[in-house]
A and B are shown apart, each in its own frame.
Chain A
Amino acid sequence: MRKSISPQNLTAQLQYRAAGNPPSTLPGAAVSNACPGLEMDFRNVWKRILVGIVLHETTNVVVGVEEDAPAPLYVLPTLYQLMKVEGEPVTATVTGPLIAGGPNVPIPNTSSDSVTNLEWSNALADVLYRYSGKEVVCEFQTIDPPLATLKFNLRVRHFFEKVLLPGGKKATQAVISRDIAEAGALTQSLCSPWQNDYRVCACFYWAATRPDYVNVELGEDGASVGNNWMQKDRTPESAKVYVVDDLQDQRLLTYGDLFREWEKALRFVIGNQDAE
């Protein structure tokens, strides 16, 4: 156990592992490609990053205003989306081929628009670093036609808690500030119940935490063989056939199995092999 930590050593504090805590308690064990996530939906920390407005955790739509927000901001919720902060776009044009082998062009989504929001964490990373506590120029645009733009100067909320020390100095702590997210805010947009995120939704994106392909080995034809982690009743003798995700397939766990019996049905995987 460490004997001391400098209050300025924020890295040590962020990464601190208390006595008795396994590595799975660490933020470094929690996924952050939050779509929506497992241990938390980290996107929620960005909702209140700009004082006065509440952003959607995912899209760039303004979904609300804060209690003491100035009146001009009231026009924004559900009608406007944030486009730029200090000139940096928070959106990108989606490009790709419309036919295989074709040229890369802006491609429309189901609502005929080729623009997508970028995740806040990366889109605002530079803004947060340079302007924490300061005002930034925010450019908003109507979602529906006619297109109209509004600009407001909004203050960037401090991400980490600031503490007033005796003597008047302010110190940054390693804990996410209270103002950023209230109790329950970090987990609110996760699947409900969480097992929903395990069964479908193409949830294969957190393989290190929610495995997809287990008991894998090289087959005789040179390709791998193994099991789908969602396959029921696996034993070491079970055939190594990956059953593709299909809600109708009896060989795979159902929602019901997961809601009622997840503790028995889901196996821990160690060394890429079924353990308990």
Chain B
Amino acid sequence: MRRELIELRILPPLAIGRLGSSPDPMDNYDLVIRDPVGPRQIEPAETLRVDRKTGSVSRFTPKAPLRFKDRHGVRPVAPFLEVWARLKGESKLRPLTVELLRAAGLKPDSVSWRVQVANLKIFRRTAVEADKIATDIRPFSDHKVHRLSGRCRNFLPRKTVSLGSVQYILPSRTLPEIRFRFTPAGGKVYGLDPADNVYDSSKGTWQGQYSEPQDNTQGPAKGRLLTQPFQTFAGENKGGDKDSKLVSAGYIDDECDGFVEVEIRNRTGPMVRAFARIASGPPAFAPDSMPVRTVGDELEQAMFGPRVNGRVTVKELREVVEIVRRAMETACLMNAAQLNAGSLQPGSGMARHDTKDWHRALEPMFEPSVAETVAIASRHQRVLLGVESGSLVWFANALRDFDQVADLSTEGRRKMPGLMRGSDGMHLALTRRQVDKIRKVAAAGVRLMSDRR
């Protein structure tokens, strides 16, 4: 009896790739906590190796220590995307496999893929449509490598920028799931040398013309369209004191983001489709550490709201411990004494922004006698150890609320997270949901069961 595919998903719904020019993508690894107050351990995990010529995939587990670079360069992180499906009559999504396709009377080549990615960094500045770098890979079902060649109307004839590549993986007996791989580009900067220049400066302004004035209330629309912060592109300062501006050198990078879409036409019945988002960024240079506020936290808040509803349990306690751990990991890698300095010199932290952007009195944020990396890291370690014994209450009381980011008083600047900048350029607050979760867990006194009864 032929089954029908009712709905599809691509998981993960958002996959991050990381640039690197090595042809050998980074191995898979797990981050394991062996030392409860120390760095996570990077331990090899089952890795899928793809033969780019055929699209076939095999499993292997690499040996420690893992290498993040090889003789070619940094090994890119090339994420896999899986197709999950729900069959008619079933309530759950399952990994789509060759067998499930067969049950629906279909084959692997019934699965069709489309990819649209773009690099709009130039367009965001110039607002010129012709400066968009984009590519749209028409639907395909083969297992070849498809290059994401970014085209731009303001490029020189026949020039493109490689934004990476994608491949529909050939399912096998041992790995029968329907999967797809996005391999980011190599992290090249175009325009440094004439030889790899792609931009046509007779058509567009990006190379040597586009500029942003130092006084960001000037210019088209009084500077209100500029990015914030502005002048975030490579260029040269020109002009005198009064009319200084940054003129773009015309460099272009090969990051991108966009969509991967899958479509399957049922034998009888409607088409089913799904899409996911991909993005590429620089490597995670401290791969055993995680940031304290992440896109994952954003998505959780956007999905479930700024407050945790209902009772908090051990699950929330674990999530909160994870946040505290991330705070510790961040603290270990920051020069607190330097970032705390009440100085206008480059290399100083938020005190400099507070004085330059807002005329706040220039002074350090924390008492200099306690703003010291080893001491702060040590404190976070002890807080992590004592989470169930009251240290979480301290942490919860110290958090900055989202509407307190503009409180530049001495007290306000000493809230947590400390010494860091948020999306509005003010002092960083965690997401409201993170704050709510921490406070609720602290108030509820949730305890983990001890290790053994």
Contact = CB atoms under 8 A, between A and B. Distances in A.
Complex A–B touching at CB under 8 A: yes
Interface of A: 1-7, 10-11, 13-36, 38-40, 42-43, 45, 56-59, 61, 63, 78, 92-100, 102, 104, 107-111, 114, 116-123, 125-126, 128-130, 143, 159-161, 163, 165-166, 171, 173-176, 178, 182-198, 200-202, 204-214, 216-218, 223-224, 226, 228-229, 242, 244-247, 255, 259-260, 262-264, 266-272, 275-276
Interface in B269-313: 270, 274-277, 279-306
A32 B86 contact: no
6 contacts: A7-B86, A14-B296, A36-B227, A78-B221, A126-B432, A205-B428
B450 interface: no
A227 to B, nearest CB: 10
A267 B374 CA distance: 21
Given A14-B300, A32-B423, A36-B227, A20 B80 contact: yes
A190 B255 contact: yes
B120 to A, nearest CB: 4
Nearest to B401: A122
Contact of A30 (B31, B48, B287, B296): B296
A126 B306 CA distance: 6
From DSSP, what is the main secondary structure of chain B's interface residues?
Answer: mixed
Given A275-B68, A276-B69, A119 B422 contact: yes
B53 interface: no
A184 B118 contact: yes
B397 interface: no
B90 to A, nearest CB: 9
Contact of B296 (A15, A195, A268): A15
Given A30-B295, A33-B428, A259-B234, A94 B335 contact: no
Contacts, number: 513
Nearest to B356: A110
Given A33-B423, A195-B234, 9 more contacts: A30-B279, A30-B296, A58-B424, A61-B224, A97-B408, A97-B410, A175-B274, A207-B334, A210-B282
Interface in B64-99: 67-69, 73-74, 77, 79-82, 84, 86, 91-95
From DSSP, what is the main secondary structure of chain A's interface residues?
Answer: loop
Contact of B363 (A11, A17, A100, A174): A100
Given A22-B26, A31-B294, A192 B424 contact: no
A208 B362 CA distance: 27
A226 B335 contact: yes
B39 A246 contact: no
Interface stretch (B3-11, B139-147, B385-393, B440-448): B3-11
Most buried by A among B122, B221, B332: B332
